[in-house]
Structure 1
Amino acid sequence: MTIPSSSSSCPDYAEYAKVFHGPASSGPLKLPFQRPIEACRTFTSKVIDQVVDFVASKIVNADLARLFTNTFPNTLDTTVSQTACLTNQTNSCHPLTFLITGDINAMWLRDSVNQLMPYLNYIQQDYSLKRLFLGTIYMQAHFISIDPYANAFHPPDNIQQWSTMQTPNPYQHQGLSPGSVPQVYEYKWEIDSLASFFSLSFQYWQTTQDRSFVDSPIWMNAVEKTIDLLRNEQHGTFDPNTGKVLPVDERFSQTTDRPTETQFQDGRGQPIKQTGMIRTLFRPSDDACVFPFFVPGNAMMSVELDHINQLIHDKNATLADQASQLSKDIREAIFKYAVVDLPDHGKVFAYEVDGYGAQLIMDDANVPSLLSLPLLGFVPMDDPIYQNTRRLVLSKGNPYYYQGPNMAGIGGPHVPLNYAWPMSQIVRIMTSTDDTEIKESLDLLLRSTDGTGLIHESINVFETPNGKESYSRSWFAWANGLFGQAIIRLSNEKPHLLT
């Protein structure tokens, strides 16, 4: 492993990613080679480079092999912004890792976890890669201790200042406006951000059997703050006895010309009835929820609370039991309040609900999504309610499903209408056992790059705007890595689709 020092001679990858770099692939699309030169890569792992070469050599389609080569290592190549590994009182390493999302110079809790996940199965073969994961766990624990409602954070001026094993003085969130705390990049309360922190901690432990971080007061403080927050956000809008409005810790309101960037009712969101689910104000797209019970995020949190129960039970049985009860409450509430019987589709999961009977029937491409429920571990792929939901969200029954000559897939309010996210086709692959469907998605993804050889945030399904790219975001590491992850899975489970 090497982490090159920053160099002014290295180009801005957001611009680098837009233009052709040779040699071209030998396939009909002639896709460029978009990995930075080695001196400009932000993290180099020989193990991952070997995986790239081996898997690409097994892919007959030269364009598909090139797309995999460009995308799978993209997080390591371009987004490892800062790292530190200082010794603590016991002379052991306390690592920290700051990952940017790509063309946005900030670290999202959700994105950074998903950016790393493609490399999880290789961390036992590369100690530095393993330390990168552990450093992300600690970095996120620090962030959550500052403010568990925040979803994204600025790069630290000096990452070594964070490298202490002492429990930080936690910032007490009191619903302050965006920008109130200098470390916070965005104050949007997204339930999946905290679920992602739990997921990374659990999957790292399952893969390595290393749970040294559980003994860290910083990590345990973050878990305690998360459990406290979730229990606090389980109540409804009104006191069931007096009818008075209950206080909330989290509000988000700002002046904006985009309704998705602010919230109803002076920042507290639409009224909700207590159900057992957790109130959240924003989706993983960073767009405002219409109804504050965001179902995919609650489903993910239910799964991860059970994982945290397993991880900490012999360390803090009381906290573990609270996590287990929350997990059960959420799951039962989803099946009670968020399953809808539609005339044309049967029983499906709603995207958002309020507990009073209002339901939002749609899906957004960002994970967690309804399409991704089996990947989250909430239901098996053959669950009948999920299968009905899957058919719905991948059809015109979903108002954000688009289909045109350039692309097809699920979009969302975060981008213009008729812009589908390639991420939805990747998740379609990862939730399918049908060879024909998988091949169709691979073909769409190959044609979605606009000749750049990278996976973008979204793509215009009909036509290229005059003088503009047909896509949004030239550099989106999460989507690149997820595509690479899907190809790795196919190479293990369905290698005949790549040969």
Structure 2
Amino acid sequence: FLSPTDDPVKYPYLTYDNVLVWRSFLILADVYEHFGEGEKAGKLTAKAARLRQDIQKHCIRQGPRGLMYAWSVGENGEYEILDQPPGSLQLLEYYGFCKKDDEVYQNTVRTIHSRANPDYAATGTFQAPACEHAPFPWVLSLAYELLNGDRKRALKLFEKAPLDNGIACETIDADTGWVKTGAAFATCAGFLAHSLAVALQESE
């Protein structure tokens, strides 16, 4: 089993991955409904509801700030508290899985953006969540802040950060904002462009 960073996982059931499947079921249900396949749409909607219940039952665990979404869980009650920017739990609200003011979600985000997160890049101008795969501030983490976090801070940091000569990259130096790993990261560039558009439109 691989995580969103393509690295092996400690426990096989990832909260983020299951939320993506939940969201995919709902999108497919809408497609079937649009084409008059009501029965198929209903089955997918029911599967999504069951999956959501299972995520809430098995993936909410005790963390450093109270109940929160675990990164991954095992079959015998094991779980792991961490986050990976390529598939961050901060996006659960963005995908519609929970509300922004949900206490469990808030505890999750507070943990991600704190020293309680073992991979948080806590020094320098460009402090942001990182991960073991690349232990430097991730540009994607700052992009998520544009969607549902500290938008003003993220906009200011992007104004300062030279990135990869103005091109989105995987991670940046915590002090200078210059590319550290993953130069010319196309996937990140697309998501960053979307996040900037959302942030600027909603700020008008």
Partner residue of 2:7 out of 287, 299, 307:
287
Question: How far did residue 320 of structure 1 move?
Answer: 3.2
**Structure of larger gyration radius:** 1
Q: 2:85–2:140: 8 Å Cα contact kept in structure 1?
A: yes
Aligned mate of 1:483, from 164, 187, 192: 192
Q: With structure 1 as the length reference, what TM-score do the two structures score?
A: 0.38
Match of 1:59 in 2: none
The structure-2 alpha-carbon separation of the partners of 1:378 and 1:340, relative to structure 1 and needing over 3 Å to count, comes to: same
What residue in structure 2 maps to residue 93 of structure 1? Answer: none
* Structure 2 partner of 1:410: 129
Question: Are 2:21 and 1:304 equivalent residues in the alignment?
Answer: no
Deviations 1:448-480 (A, max 9, x none): 33461122101232579xxxx751122112222
After superposition, the Cα gap between the structure-2 partners of 1:451 and 1:288, relative to the gap in structure 1 and judged at 3 Å, is: closer
Check whether the contact 2:143–2:196 (CA below 8 A) recurs between aligned residues.
Answer: no
Distance 1:457 1:470 in 2: 8
Distance, in Å, in 2 between the alignment partners of 1:282 and 1:323 is: 25
Structure 2 counterpart of 1:358? 78
Structure 1 residue 301 displacement after superposition: 1.3
The answer to whether residue 113 in structure 2 is matched with residue 394 in structure 1 is yes
Aligned to 2:128, what secondary structure does the other structure show?
Answer: strand
Question: Which stretches of structure 1, 4 residues or more, deviate above 6 A after TM superposition?
Answer: none
Residue deviations 1:53-89 (CA, integer Å, cap 9, x gap)? xxxxxxxxxxxxxxxxxxxxxxxxxxxxxxxxxxxxx
Q: Measure, in 2, the Cα distance between the counterparts of 1:283 and 1:421.
A: 16
Q: Contact 1:287 / 1:413 at 8 angstroms: preserved in 2?
A: no
Distance (whole Å) between structure 2 residues aligned to residue 307 and residue 335 of structure 1: 20
Q: Does 1:493 align with 2:202?
A: yes
Cα pair 2:12 2:72 within 8 Å, conserved: yes
How big is each residue's C-alpha offset from its partner over 1:36-63, in whole Å with a ceiling of 9 and x where there is no partner? xxxxxxxxxxxxxxxxxxxxxxxxxxxx
Match of 1:363, SS?
A: coil
**Is 2:47 the partner of 1:334?**
no
User: Which residue in the other structure is 2:173 paired with?
Assistant: 460
CA distance in structure 2 between the partners assigned to 1:389 and 1:357 by the alignment: 19
Matched residue count: 203
Query: SS of 2:56's equivalent?
Result: helix
Q: Residues 130-183 of structure 1: CA distance to partner in whole angstroms, max 9, x if unpaired?
A: xxxxxxxxxxxxxxxxxxxxxxxxxxxxxxxxxxxxxxxxxxxxxxxxxxxxxx
**Cα distance change, pair 463–331 in 1 and its aligned pair in 2 (3 A):** same
Q: Distance in 2 between matches of 1:311 and 1:446?
A: 39
Quick one: distance in 2 between partners of 1:352 and 1:285?
14
3-state SS of paired residue (1:405): coil
Q: Which whole-Å CA distance do the structure 2 matches of 1:333 and 1:421 have between them? A: 30
Per-residue displacement from partner, 1:196-255 (whole Å, max 9, x unpaired)? Answer: xxxxxxxxxxxxxxxxxxxxxxxxxxxxxxxxxxxxxxxxxxxxxxxxxxxxxxxxxxxx
Deviation string for 1:330-380 (max 9, x for gaps)? 1111111111123x411110010013211110111013x201111112112
Task: For structure 1, list consecutive stretches of 5 or more residues without a partner in the other structure.
Answer: 1-280
Structure number having the greater helix percentage: 2
Per the normalisation by structure 2, the TM-score is 0.88
Q: CA deviation at 1:316?
A: 4.3
| Fraction of identical pairs, as percent | 22
Gaps of 5+ in 2: none
Distance 1:305 1:329 in 2: 11
* CA distance in 2 between partners of 1:321 and 1:315 (Å): 11
Tell me, in whole angstroms, the C-alpha distance in 2 between the residues paired with 1:318 and 1:438. 42
